[in-house]
């Protein structure tokens, strides 16, 4: 058992101070077990005394509360062309961060060395040590075998296939290193931050590529090979465009920022967003049509999963209402009324923080909610 | 806490006899808690003494084991034109059953009275009383709001909309009454019986209609309104046939037994199965093509969920290899290699028992695995 897990600490995670007697009552554990565990948690700084409860006669009983800054989380969001690194507390709140331009194609040695340097710099600035970390969470822009943390044939990450990301970082920082793909951690981050009570949520990233993260029953659904959420390669009905995966008519080949940029003779998501914001009719129409194509595929996802929230994130979601309007139009046209009764289709609330919050959530779920 | 739940009983569900000391050790509960709970469970007949463990000096410690016939489950599979009712033990094993022809359109009073009569008859034959039941599980051929057990605008069930199934049955039999749609309980039954270790499974029923049950992380994924798995109304690419739901090109309008029967100028799944078995080329080709259409939609489900097993059940699955061959062909043509590395696409192993086993599993999960 990690010193961060177990039922006593879990009962305190809501921030509510509690007495020893309350913790015994709520956990059903033996008095000696609870008393010993509180002593360990206080010694580790994870739990601190927090005043006294009202006395029922005799010495008033001491209360204890969770101390979220006892340890920190290192969160790294490695994008295709950027690196963001942050320190968070044990609730996932971002305390400090740094972002630099960095090409993923420089390979794992260069990129992970930059993560290490950024992590140590943030720790130094916060006057904390690498031993204060409860763990490190990393998001990568390609398929990752979550159980080992190794990239699995990632298409845009030369040199990364099967690289041991965990081994490279574990020697530098205390605690476990957890790795997942960027869309999964964005889904985790959006869910943990903005929709903690929602059971069924779909996070859709629309950027150079298209992908989704699936929250089912409050938990990330990774699938058998960690390949769940790969909606960019579902066939867009009626299309035959060649996709970089070798198949034809994939949603990503039709409606991604890369596909729209090619139509508009421009090159990046940012260019498209600026054209739309400047009122360019061709760009606006192209984004809206992309929304319809994405919505048609999402309608199938709605029939299969019946989520209550679909969050649209990624760089193209900044193009304003056109994308969302196209998505909604197609979802409502193709779904059964029952499945869309209370469905909300919204843009990301965590925005650029989704990945960092998610990388922290990856560590928190592993460390704090394990039993 | 139900007398069937709690950590002590849960530790004994694997059938392994254990001593008091082992149960204290495994549960982390206080000695007094474990001792009291064992006494309650023995008094209820749910746990029985099972010999003695090897002594380490002094009197050898008693061992206790789970008694799966201490209570029974009543399982009812209500189809469009049949009713099957069974008694199972607390592992879900079917002890006895009865099946009759019955049209769901006779309405809830007539159909549920038949369930009550069949249940009492089976109990009498087994020389057990209605108080020996741990609960009743019911599958219905239409959408059900699982939390209340009420049918939700079911298309083929006149008179059933919002009917209080739970209230009608709760007065007759001991324990809770749990209701879900037939495809969900078939998925539960197939999973519990044949694939208990599989995390991600999709059960596809191909019959008069088409639907799916989604197992995610070992648990049934019902979705926000209990409408998950409704793949019959996902658009089959390239099709415009009018569906009974009012939309066009739905998978069910293209590839269900009803759609194939119309093409072949016959009427039921059974007719189609017999034509295929007799070597009729048109029927075989139609079933194979239906398989391709279903497989195209399932390829999207594979990209989204990355299951490790897809089970094909329902009456049309008895048409032999043609349906499965068509499904496999389309899935492998449209999925990314990573998601199909270890994917198995198979016919149902539980067959006609899937629904009854699933109705029992519904009760067992509610009663035995709640904490």
Per-residue model confidence as pLDDT tens digits over B188-209: 999 999 999 999 999 999 998 9
Predicted confidence at residue B370, as pLDDT, reads 54
The domain B72-186+354-368 is placed in CATH, from the list 3.30.420.40, 3.90.1150.10, 3.40.47.10, 3.40.50.300, at 3.30.420.40
The answer to whether the beta carbons of residues B316 and B207 sit under 8 Å apart is: yes
Give one DSSP letter per residue of A307-349, joined into a string: -SEEEEESGGGGGTHHHHHHHHHHHHHHS-HHHHTT-EEEE-S
By the CB < 8 Å criterion, does A296 face chain B? yes
Is the CB of residue A327 less than 8 Å from the CB of residue A312? yes
> Residue B245 is nearest to which of A28, A307, A336, comparing CB atoms?
A336
Contact present, A80 and A156 (Cβ < 8 Å): yes
For the segment B231-256, the average pLDDT, to the nearest whole number, is 93
For residue B152, list chain A residues with Cβ-Cβ distance below 8 A. 338
Cβ atoms of B294 and B326 within 8 Å: the answer is: yes
Under-50 pLDDT residues of chain A = 1, 371
* Contact between A29 and B29 using a beta-carbon 8 Å cutoff: yes
**pLDDT at residue A60 in the model:** 79
Contacts of B341 in chain A (CB under 8 A): 225
Rounded to whole angstroms, the Cα distance separating B217 from B239 reads: 34
Taking the CA of residue A228 and the nearest CA in chain B, the distance in Å comes to 5
Find chain B residues with C-beta within 8 A of A237's C-beta: 235, 237-238
- Burial classification of residue B39, based on how many CB atoms lie within 10 Å of its CB (0-12 exposed, 13-18 middle, 19 or more buried): exposed
Short-list A75, A101, A76, CA closest to A89: A75
Flag if B305 and A221 touch (Cβ within 8 Å). Answer: yes
Cβ contacts of A272-275, under 8 Å, gap ≥ 24: A272/A316, A272/A319, A273/A315, A273/A316, A273/A318, A273/A319
Mutate to test the interface with A, among B225, B243, B308 (most CBs of A within 10 A): B225
Q: Provide CATH 1.10.10.10 ranges for chain A.
A: 7-66
Q: Determine the pLDDT at residue B1.
A: 37
Shortest CA distance to A370 belongs to which of A171, A198, A72, A134? A134
CATH number of A196-349: 3.30.420.40
Other beta carbons within 10 angstroms of residue B196's beta carbon come to 8
As a whole number of angstroms, the distance between CA A185 and CA A362 comes to 7
**Within chain B, which residue ranges are assigned CATH 3.30.420.40?**
72-186+354-368, 188-352
The chain A residue lying nearest B199, using CA atoms, is: A224
CB neighbourhood size of B349 (10 A): 13
Distance of CA A290 to the CA centre of its chain: 24
Measured between beta carbons, which residues in chain B are less than 8 angstroms from residue A233? 303, 335-336
Q: What is the ipTM of this complex?
A: 0.89
Q: Indicate yes or no: CB of A217 within 8 angstroms of CB of B217.
A: yes
Buried b (16+ CB within 10 A) or exposed e, B235-261: bbbebeeebeeebebbbbbbbbbbbbb
The class (CATH top level) of B7-66 is mainly alpha
3-state secondary structure B1-36: CCCCCCHHHHHHCCCCCEEHHHHHHHHCECHHHHHH
Q: What is the mean pLDDT of residues B352-358?
A: 94
Q: How far is the alpha carbon of A253 from chain B, nearest alpha carbon, in Å?
A: 14
Strand partners, A219: A216
The closest of B215, B337, B304 to A229, measured between CA atoms, is: B304
Interface probe with A: pick from B223, B295, B297, most Cβ of A within 10 Å: B223
3-state secondary structure of A51: strand
Q: What is the pLDDT of residues B87-108, one digit of tens each?
A: 999 999 999 999 999 999 999 9
Specify the 3-state DSSP secondary structure of A143: coil
Closest-CA residue in chain B for A341?
B225
Three-state DSSP state, A171: coil
In angstroms, the Cα distances linking A140 to A76, A81, A158, B295 are: 9, 11, 13, 31
Stretch(es) of chain A classified as CATH 3.30.420.40: 72-187+354-368, 196-349
State which H helix or E strand residue A220 sits in.
strand A219-221
Q: Does the beta carbon of A278 lie under 8 angstroms from any beta carbon of chain B?
A: no
**pLDDT over 80 (residue B54):** no
Are B338 and A216 inside 8 Å of each other by CB? no
For residue B188, the model assigns a pLDDT of: 97
In CATH, the architecture of A72-187+354-368 is: 2-Layer Sandwich (3.30)
Q: What pLDDT, on a 0 to 100 scale, did the predictor assign at position B28?
A: 85
Q: Per CATH, is B188-352 categorized as 3.30.420.40? A: yes
- In 3D, which of B30, B133, B305 has the Cα closest to residue B38? B30
CA-based nearest residue in chain A for residue B28: A29
The answer to whether A114 touches A83, Cβ cutoff 8 Å, is: yes
Q: Distance between CA A27 and CA A242 in Å, rounded?
A: 57
Identify the residue among B154, B336, B343, B345 best suited for mutation to test binding to A, counting A beta carbons within 10 A and taking the highest: B336
Edge-to-edge, what's the strand order for the sheet holding A82-88?
A94-101, A82-88, A72-78, A133-140, A177-181
End-to-end CA distance of chain A: 8
Asked if A272 and A261 count as a contact pair (C-beta separation under 8 A), the reply is: yes
Q: Are strands B219-220 and B210-216 parallel, antiparallel or unpaired?
A: antiparallel
**What's the mean pLDDT in B349-371?**
87
pLDDT of residue A3: 66
As a whole-number percent, the residues of chain B with pLDDT over 90 amount to 78
C-alpha closest to that of B112 among B186, B188, B163, B180:
B163
Residues β-bridged to residue A204: A212, A312
B-proximal residues of A, 18-57, CB under 8 Å? 28-31, 33
- Counted residue by residue, chain A has a size of 371
List, in sequence order, every residue forming a beta bridge with B180; answer none if it has no partner.
B139
Size of interface A-B (CB pairs under 8 A): 160
Distance CA A344, CA A342 (A): 6
Say if B343 is an interface residue toward chain A (CB within 8 Å). Answer: yes
The percent of residues in chain A predicted with pLDDT above 70, rounded, is 98
CA atoms of A14 and A10, how far apart (whole Å): 8
A210 — contact with chain B (CB < 8 Å)?
no
Q: How close, in Å, is residue B142 to chain A by CA atoms?
A: 12
- Give just the sign of the alpha carbon dihedral B278, B283, B288, B293: negative
Residue of A nearest to B217 (CA): A221
Q: Do B219 and A214 touch (CB under 8 A)?
A: no
A238 to chain B, closest Cα gap in Å = 7
Task: With cut-offs at 50, 70 and 90, classify the pLDDT of residue B369.
Answer: low
**Residue B99 DSSP symbol:** E
Which member of A225, A231, A338 has the closest CB to residue B227? A338
């Amino acid at each position: 058992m990690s010193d961060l897990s177990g039922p006593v600490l879990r009962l305190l995670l809501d921030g509510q101070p509690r007495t020893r007697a309350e913790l015994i009552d709520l956990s059903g554990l033996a008095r000696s077990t609870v008393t010993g565990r509180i002593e360990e948690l206080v010694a580790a700084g994870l739990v601190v005394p927090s005043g006294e409860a009202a006395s029922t006669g005799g010495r008033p009983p001491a209360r204890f509360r969770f101390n979220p800054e006892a340890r920190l989380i290192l969160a790294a969001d490695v994008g295709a062309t950027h690196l963001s690194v942050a320190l968070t507390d044990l609730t996932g709140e971002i305390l400090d961060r740094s972002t630099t331009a960095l090409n993923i194609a420089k390979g794992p040695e260069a990129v992970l060395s930059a993560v290490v340097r950024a992590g140590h710099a943030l720790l130094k600035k916060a006057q904390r040590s690498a031993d204060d970390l409860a763990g490190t969470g990393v998001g990568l822009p390609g398929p990752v075998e979550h159980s080992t943390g190794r990239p699995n044939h990632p298409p845009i990450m030369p040199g990364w296939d099967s690289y041991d990301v965990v081994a490279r970082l574990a020697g530098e920082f205390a605690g476990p290193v957890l790795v997942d793909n960027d869309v999964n951690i964005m889904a985790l981050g959006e869910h943990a931050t903005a929709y903690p009570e929602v059971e069924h949520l779909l996070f859709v990233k629309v950027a150079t590529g298209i992908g989704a993260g699936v929250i089912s029953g409050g938990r990330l659904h990774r699938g058998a090979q960690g390949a769940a959420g790969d909606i960019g390669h579902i066939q867009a009905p009626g299309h035959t465009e060649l996709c970089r995966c070798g198949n034809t008519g994939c949603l990503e080949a039709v409606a991604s920022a890369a596909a729209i940029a090619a139509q508009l003779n421009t090159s990046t998501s940012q260019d498209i967003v600026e054209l739309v914001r400047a009122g360019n009719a061709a760009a606006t129409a192209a984004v809206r049509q992309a929304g319809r194509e994405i919505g048609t595929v999402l309608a199938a996802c709605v029939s299969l999963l019946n989520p209550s929230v679909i969050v649209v994130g990624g760089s193209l979601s900044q193009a304003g209402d056109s994308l969302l309007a196209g998505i909604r139009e197609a979802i409502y046209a193709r779904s059964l009324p029952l499945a869309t009764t209370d469905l909300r289709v919204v843009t990301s609330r965590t925005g650029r923080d989704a990945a960092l919050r998610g990388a922290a959530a990856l560590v928190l779920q592993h460390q704090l909610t394990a039993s």
